[in-house]
């Protein structure tokens, strides 16, 4: 380091290094968002060089601080920080910004770039992810720390802009963080008064500090976002708030978007487009940055390098953890297992045993009730299971006898999320990303709409999150069409990497839960009935086959028809089969609880379940169009579904009205057999 | 009226009449939500008997106040009010609460029950609908009122509970109402401290009055929600706020859920379940209500009857309107047309002329740009067109030269919605429900997820709303998988009564816009490209056929293959056709811009477009599974689609990588022809 330079001068150079990496990468890509990195550069310097606890060589270190770029379009700021801090992200990677197969995608993607904690870009969700991370930290600390042994103690830091704050999910997330008193959560508001349409005065005039105080946050106002010392002072004040455990902190940083660009700073034009060669030259002059594109002087590079400091911190923690292991060997082993995301060794035997147990019980219950039974049994075996409901606990049936509540000062395992479906789902992603817990959340299936993009993000980020979505289809009954999800099961099936289960009885419900827990690379969503569904008899082979997503539930010597059904309609298919069998017509019934998993089976399995030369009838109380995928190739085929909204009436009356009766299914079946 | 009774005594009886109608109807149905009607009964009495401007005999009166029950589960409160006020809703209707085909559905449904202004139940959306209604009122007043002639001057009143306030959309809606200074919007917060999971202290500790003050609302705190006089006083204070035009008003009413039930008042148990016979008897005793179920004493009934008062108010308005008509005959005629929702008489000729004009221009442009051209032309002919973007105006391309902005004190036609997709969509529903405008809103297609349930509500409520969703599919390019809607077009197609258009060029874009505007019974959603798409040549008959949703764009004498394509992939289909034609293989190309509309065509049309005996190939850069519906029955078939998330890279590189090239489509076509 050039010793002639003052701290302030070094900080200025650091900030400008971040600015120009962003400027140059966006210019090279001819695509991207320079405005935010240029506007938040000093805030980043203050946090990353003075406070952030991380080890660039060990990005997976369990007790690292979590950093979330909720305004993910400013990805180049994060890539610049990761590169200069010493993560495995090279200058060549940065030169490949936004190019095919590069590690520097347009928005930060977790699992794709070392040091990226969550995939952001869809505004507001990063903040909600961070709330989940801070909840996980707090709960894990309560569960594992012991007197004299603090092995969990880290912070969650968030960068966010006006866009995040306008989104509704920011309300859900901030309100939740307040009520849960997440004191180790610190958010930096990039208050630059510009959004894509221009100066926000015309569409965003909230008193944001007052709003966050109303949520129970500590709000630090009036910070100069371009003064590293002022930001540093605010961070230290936030740390003091943490020590007093008085809630999350919002640091309001006054900034200028595109700071440094003579012509474009402070304007929407710098948000999401390259500066252009002339303006870049002008900015180089204005900021006195004589270096070539992508060139960072060695001394600045060295001043950012966090590897030594990070390694020392991690080694210090490792020593503490070894002391913990010595004092609490079982806890330490459990902690290690939990943060690895491994299931207990008992799981391999337990999972099929639970399915067999449900089979033995042969209960006729609503699958939401069967899910509650499954949760209770799973929770006893899996201490990492952590979940709850968006204010429908006694409808979704998510609690269990010894669960205990999660509150600001209570450390149970059941979360009353409040009426916050989207915030819940995004926080579940945060919990899963943090590690240590296997999270689930619940609401009515129809309100999966509210949470939809966060469910998509679970799938995109390959997170093990289980969604418990009850009150499926018109079987919901009297609450009517606003609450009856007729299109939701098929529409959710279309989200890549999401496994949608619609079990037909308690046995399939247990199997669906098992699949969601066993899966490590994506979410599962369970669509569960309000109404009771009868038990279906199965052989051992059939019990094992459920996990294939589609299997033969009942067969005939020489079937003349295959009926495919899911959920509440499997019983109708079985009844139709009985009626036709009585007439000497052989029918195979295929239960298809998860089309997504069935699609991943090999061709031999698929052909064995759905041989090509037999007519097929699909039955599902949902929008029917997707079923044609499973009917293609059959000599004749039809779907019994519902291609319109439901109505308000008792479930039985609706099933009758809309054609979901054994008689109607039998009739549709006959029409295919006797054309 | 029994003259011995004081006003206070009458109000108590009125409130109890509402309570028992709810209690008795829920008990008869053995399903429903008595807690809210019992808790908000006095608030309802204050508003409905002293302030609400409405004429029960003419529910469609343009200048009526709008009443929105955002906590729609309390539907029996609204039904009781409508019945007792004199709407066409009988006691028999109420006895049929939640039964099949009754007019008293589980949640209020607009178009189903006279006097219901919007369908509510999905929490928070009623508030956002109301914001749209109040915006429409304010804009319509600015557009049509003239000095000495006030023909638009009504209020929007909202009931809402903690559930609405926890939802993220309440933030978007309230923030928007503040920035737009919607002074005639008055909301009553049913502050009963109970949500479904119990006392909200464990999950909802916002300082709601402070929060709403942060949005620029007038907040009236500490109102006793069980004292009609106190509520009345607050309403009068809100009216004074209106006169001063200082923003929307929140009236915070302290209430007890299930008020009157000795055992259940103040508990979550009374929220969503019948009280049960014993508790009903106890409540009758406690409230001194000796009447039989569903019996309302005549004098109470008479005291509620709003027909005379309502008719007088409406006649007074009618007289004012006649004076307005005399002074401003053209304005009056235009006003009447606008509130009827009729299009101008010129529309019938204009619509096809605009399609022909686009055809003549033969432009190669992005369909988002073609949409902007369409908007500009439509806006000149249709003064009711009112729309904007959720902070992506210059990406969605929603503005036009003379549009002018909608601000608190500016009355243009373009709305900067801010980053509030869900709030925008629900407000669009409110604008449409209010009447006078034909609203549209825009965001990136991927963020239709954020707005999804409001889009569903547009469809359920059969509202003419146009959604302009740009940056379709992987053609979006560098922003990457978080921003690339691969499953959205098919998943939106599954929403009943929503028409999803994915036009292939400027001509189809204009036709799609025309269809959305012509349609009166539901919404249209346009999925538009970021990238330029080539013009396709069409005959007059083909131009006219676009409105059928699917049609033959190019044919062959004896086609050996049909390629179905939409949007950006139509050009690939045409290129593949060229290649195959050069090899002597005849190919038909079917452009299918709207499968939903195609589905509504008669069988003859469908067969003429898709004859059964020719192999079919579908090509769409989206999740492919839905296409099998249109391939069923063909001798051989395949889909070129994308069943996984996209990636961050320039669009051309992604199209190449994921197989959306003329060569790949040609190859897939050959495989079907030469199996």
Q: What is the pLDDT of residues B8-34, one digit of tens each?
A: 999 999 999 999 999 999 999 999 999
Distance from CA of A444 to the nearest CA of B (A): 10
- CA-nearest residue to B170 within chain A is A168
Q: How far is it, in rounded angstroms, from Cα B30 to Cα B32?
A: 7
- Please answer yes or no on whether A106 and B453 come within 8 Å at the CB atom: no
Mean pLDDT of B436-459: 98
- Please answer yes or no on whether B482 and A166 come within 8 Å at the CB atom: no
**Token pair belonging to A420:** 């916050």
C-alpha dist (Å) from residue B249 to B117, B155, B209: 20, 11, 11
Q: How far is it, in rounded angstroms, from Cα B330 to Cα B323?
A: 13
- Predicted pLDDT at B385: 98
Q: A551-554 and B406-407 as β-strands: parallel, antiparallel, unpaired?
A: unpaired
Interface-testing mutation among B32, B72, B78, B106, with chain A (most A C-beta atoms within 10 A): B106
CB neighbours of B201 closer than 8 A, spacing ≥ 6?
Answer: B193
The one catalytic residue in B421, B487, B508, B547 is B421
State the binding site of B for thiamine diphosphate.
Answer: 73, 121-123, 163, 192, 271, 447
- Please answer yes or no on whether A197 and B393 come within 8 Å at the CB atom: yes
Q: For residue range B372-418, what is the model confidence (pLDDT) as tens digits?
A: 999 999 999 999 999 999 999 999 999 999 999 999 999 999 999 99
Written as one string, the DSSP assignment of B421-460 is HHHHHHHHHHHHHH-S-EEEEEEEGGGHHHHHHHHHHHHH
- Please answer yes or no on whether B637 and A632 come within 8 Å at the CB atom: yes
Q: Does residue A572 contact residue A565 with C-beta atoms inside 8 Å?
A: yes
Q: Does residue B386 contact residue B548 with C-beta atoms inside 8 Å?
A: no
- Please answer yes or no on whether B196 and A392 come within 8 Å at the CB atom: yes
Distance from CA of B165 to the nearest CA of A (A): 9
Look up residue A291 and give its DSSP letter.
P
Distance from CA of A481 to the nearest CA of B (A): 8
Interface-testing mutation among B525, B592, B648, B657, with chain A (most A C-beta atoms within 10 A): B648
The one catalytic residue in A42, A167, A421, A508 is A421
Look up residue A296 and give its DSSP letter.
-
Written as one string, the DSSP assignment of A499-550 is EEE--SSHHHHHHHHHHHHH-SSS-EEEEE-SSEE------HHHHHHGGGS-
Q: How far is CA A549 from the centre of its chain?
A: 23
C-alpha dist (Å) from residue B460 to A485, B111, B466, B495, B561: 12, 10, 14, 9, 38
- Please answer yes or no on whether A393 and B196 come within 8 Å at the CB atom: yes
Cβ of B134: how many Cβ atoms within 10 Å? 30
Confidence of residue B5 (pLDDT cuts 50, 70, 90): confident
- Please answer yes or no on whether A491 and B495 come within 8 Å at the CB atom: yes
Residue B4 has pLDDT above 80, yes or no: no
- Please answer yes or no on whether A168 and B456 come within 8 Å at the CB atom: no
Domains plus CATH for chain B? 7-311 (3.40.50.970), 347-533 (3.40.50.970), 547-673 (3.40.50.920)
Q: Kindly report the CA angle at B453 between B455 and B546, in degrees rounded to 5?
A: 25
- Please answer yes or no on whether A628 and B629 come within 8 Å at the CB atom: yes
Interface-testing mutation among B203, B620, B637, with chain A (most A C-beta atoms within 10 A): B203
Which of B195, B483, B632 is closest, CB to CB, to A419? B195
Residue B140, classed as helix, strand or coil, is helix
Q: How far is it, in rounded angstroms, from Cα A44 to Cα A518?
A: 38
Mean pLDDT of B134-138: 98
Which of A107, A457, A494 is closest, CB to CB, to B625? A494
Q: How far is CA A628 from the centre of its chain?
A: 30
Q: Which residues of B touch A109 (CB under 8 A)?
A: 480-482, 648
Q: Does residue A410 contact residue A404 with C-beta atoms inside 8 Å?
A: yes
- Predicted pLDDT at A3: 57
Written as one string, the DSSP assignment of B321-361 is HHHHHHH-HHHHHHHHHHHHTPPPTTHHHHHHHHHHHHHHH
Q: Which residues of B touch A405 (CB under 8 A)?
A: 202
State the binding site of B.
Answer: 33, 73, 121-123, 162-163, 192, 194, 271, 368, 395, 447, 471, 479, 483, 530
Q: For residue range B522-543, what is the model confidence (pLDDT) as tens digits?
A: 999 999 999 999 999 999 999 9
- Please answer yes or no on whether A625 and B422 come within 8 Å at the CB atom: no
Which of B163, B214, B394 is closest, CB to CB, to A391? B163
Which of A170, A394, A495 is closest, CB to CB, to B171? A170
- Please answer yes or no on whether B102 and A648 come within 8 Å at the CB atom: yes
- CA-nearest residue to A652 within chain B is B100
- Please answer yes or no on whether A422 and B168 come within 8 Å at the CB atom: yes
Q: For residue range B545-566, what is the model confidence (pLDDT) as tens digits?
A: 999 999 999 999 999 999 999 9
- Please answer yes or no on whether B628 and A623 come within 8 Å at the CB atom: no
- Predicted pLDDT at B3: 58
Which of A119, A163, A419 is closest, CB to CB, to B166? A419
Written as one string, the DSSP assignment of A593-625 is S-HHHHHTS-HHHHHHHS-TTS-EEEE-SS--G
Instruction: Report the complex ipTM.
Output: 0.98
Q: Does residue A442 contact residue A390 with C-beta atoms inside 8 Å?
A: yes
Q: B2 vs B498, which has greater pLDDT? A: B498
State the binding site of A.
Answer: 33, 73, 121-123, 162-163, 192, 194, 271, 368, 395, 447, 471, 479, 483, 530
Q: Which residues of B touch A419 (CB under 8 A)?
A: 123, 162-164, 166-167, 195
- Predicted pLDDT at B1: 46
Distance from CA of A288 to the nearest CA of B (A): 31
The answer to whether residue B421 is catalytic is yes
Distance from CA of A448 to the nearest CA of B (A): 9
Which of A100, A179, A631 is closest, CB to CB, to B632? A631
C-alpha dist (Å) from residue B392 to B174, B389, B399, B421: 21, 6, 10, 11
Residue B308 has pLDDT above 90, yes or no: yes
State the binding site of A for Mg(2+).
Answer: 162, 192, 194
Alpha-carbon torsion (B272, B276, B278, B281), positive or negative: positive
Which of B202, B486, B654 is closest, CB to CB, to A496? B486
- Predicted pLDDT at A675: 57
Distance from CA of B635 to the nearest CA of A (A): 9
Look up residue B532 and give its DSSP letter.
E
C-alpha dist (Å) from residue A288 to A87, A593, B249: 28, 64, 52
Let me know if B265 is exposed, middle or buried by CB neighbors in 10 A (0-12, 13-18, 19+). buried
Interface-testing mutation among A213, A418, A485, with chain B (most B C-beta atoms within 10 A): A418
**Token pair belonging to B596:** 């939903």
- Please answer yes or no on whether A168 and B166 come within 8 Å at the CB atom: no
State the binding site of B for substrate.
Answer: 33, 271, 368, 395, 471, 479, 483, 530
Residues of chain A falling short of pLDDT 50 = 1-2
Give the lowest-confidence range in B1-15, B38-52, B288-302, B456-470: B1-15
Strands, DSSP E only, in B3-69? 66-69
Distance from CA of A127 to the nearest CA of B (A): 13
Backbone dihedral angles phi then psi of residue B47, each to the nearest 5 degrees? -75, -50
Residue B414: its H or E element: strand B414-416
Which of A204, A419, A645 is closest, CB to CB, to B460? A645
């Amino acid at each position: 380091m050039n010793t002639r330079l003052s701290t302030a001068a070094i900080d200025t150079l650091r900030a400008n290094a971040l600015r120009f990496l962003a400027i140059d990468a966006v210019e090279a890509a001819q695509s991207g968002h320079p405005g935010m990195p240029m506007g938040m550069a000093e805030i980043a310097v203050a946090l990353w060089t003075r406070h952030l606890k991380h080890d660039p060589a060990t990005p997976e270190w369990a007790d690292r601080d979590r950093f979330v770029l909720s305004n993910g379009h400013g990805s180049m700021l994060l890539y610049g920080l990761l590169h200069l801090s010493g993560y495995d992200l090279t200058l060549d990677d940065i030169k490949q910004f936004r190019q095919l197969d590069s590690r520097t995608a347009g928005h930060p993607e977790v699992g794709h770039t070392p040091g990226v904690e969550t995939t952001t870009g869809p505004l507001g969700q990063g903040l909600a992810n961070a709330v989940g991370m801070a909840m996980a930290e707090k709960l894990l600390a309560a569960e594992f720390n012991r007197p004299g042994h603090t092995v969990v103690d880290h912070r969650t830091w968030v960068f966010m802009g006006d866009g995040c704050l306008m989104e509704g999910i920011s309300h859900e997330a901030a309100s939740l963080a307040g009520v849960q008193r997440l004191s180790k959560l610190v958010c930096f508001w990039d208050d630059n008064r510009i959004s894509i349409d221009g100066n926000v005065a015309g569409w965003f005039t909230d008193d944001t500090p007052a709003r966050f105080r109303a949520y129970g946050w500590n709000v630090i106002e009036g910070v100069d976002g371009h003064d590293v010392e002022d930001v540093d002072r605010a961070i230290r004040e936030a740390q003091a708030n943490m020590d007093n455990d008085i809630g999350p902190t919002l640091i309001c940083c006054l900034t200028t978007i595109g700071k440094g660009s003579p012509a474009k700073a402070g304007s929407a034009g710098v948000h999401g487009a390259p500066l252009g060669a002339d303006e870049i030259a002008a900015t180089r002059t204005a900021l006195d940055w004589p270096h070539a594109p992508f060139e960072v002087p060695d001394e600045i590079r060295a001043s950012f390098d966090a590897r030594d400091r990070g390694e020392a911190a991690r080694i210090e923690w490792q020593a503490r953890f070894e002391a913990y292991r010595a004092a609490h060997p079982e806890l330490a082993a459990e902690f290690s297992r939990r943060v690895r995301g491994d299931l207990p060794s008992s799981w391999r035997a337990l999972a099929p045993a639970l399915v067999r147990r449900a089979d033995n019980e042969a209960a006729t219950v609503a699958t939401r009730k069967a899910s509650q039974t499954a949760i209770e049994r799973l929770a006893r075996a899996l201490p990492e299971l952590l979940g709850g409901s968006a204010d429908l606990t006694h409808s979704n049936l998510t609690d269990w006898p010894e669960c205990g509540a999660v509150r600001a000062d209570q450390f149970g395992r059941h979360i009353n999320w409040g009426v916050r479906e989207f915030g819940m789902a995004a926080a579940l992603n945060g919990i899963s990303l943090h590690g240590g817990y296997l999270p689930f959340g619940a609401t009515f299936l129809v309100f999966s709409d509210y949470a939809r993009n966060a469910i998509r993000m679970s799938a995109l980020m390959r997170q093990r999150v289980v969604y418990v979505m009850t009150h499926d289809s018109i079987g919901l009954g009297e609450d009517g069409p606003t609450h009856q999800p007729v299109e939701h099961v098929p529409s959710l099936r279309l989200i890549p990497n999401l496994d949608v289960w619609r079990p037909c009885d308690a046995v399939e419900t247990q199997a669906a839960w098992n699949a969601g827990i066993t899966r490590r690379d994506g979410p599962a969503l369970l669509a569960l009935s309000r109404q009771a569904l009868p038990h279906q008899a199965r052989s051992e082979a059939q019990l094992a086959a459920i996990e294939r997503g589609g299997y033969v539930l009942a067969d005939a010597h020489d079937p003349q028809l295959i009926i495919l059904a899911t959920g509440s309609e499997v019983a109708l298919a079985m009844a139709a089969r009985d009626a036709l069998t009585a007439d000497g017509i052989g029918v195979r019934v295929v239960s298809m609880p998860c089309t997504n998993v069935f699609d991943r089976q090999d061709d031999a399995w698929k052909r064995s379940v759905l041989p090509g030369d037999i007519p097929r009838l699909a039955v599902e109380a949902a929008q029917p169009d997707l079923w044609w995928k499973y009917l293609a190739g059959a000599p004749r085929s039809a779907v019994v579904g519902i291609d319109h909204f439901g109505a308000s009436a008792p479930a039985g009356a609706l099933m009758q009205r809309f054609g979901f009766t054994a008689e109607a299914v039998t009739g549709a079946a006959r029409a295919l057999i006797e054309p």
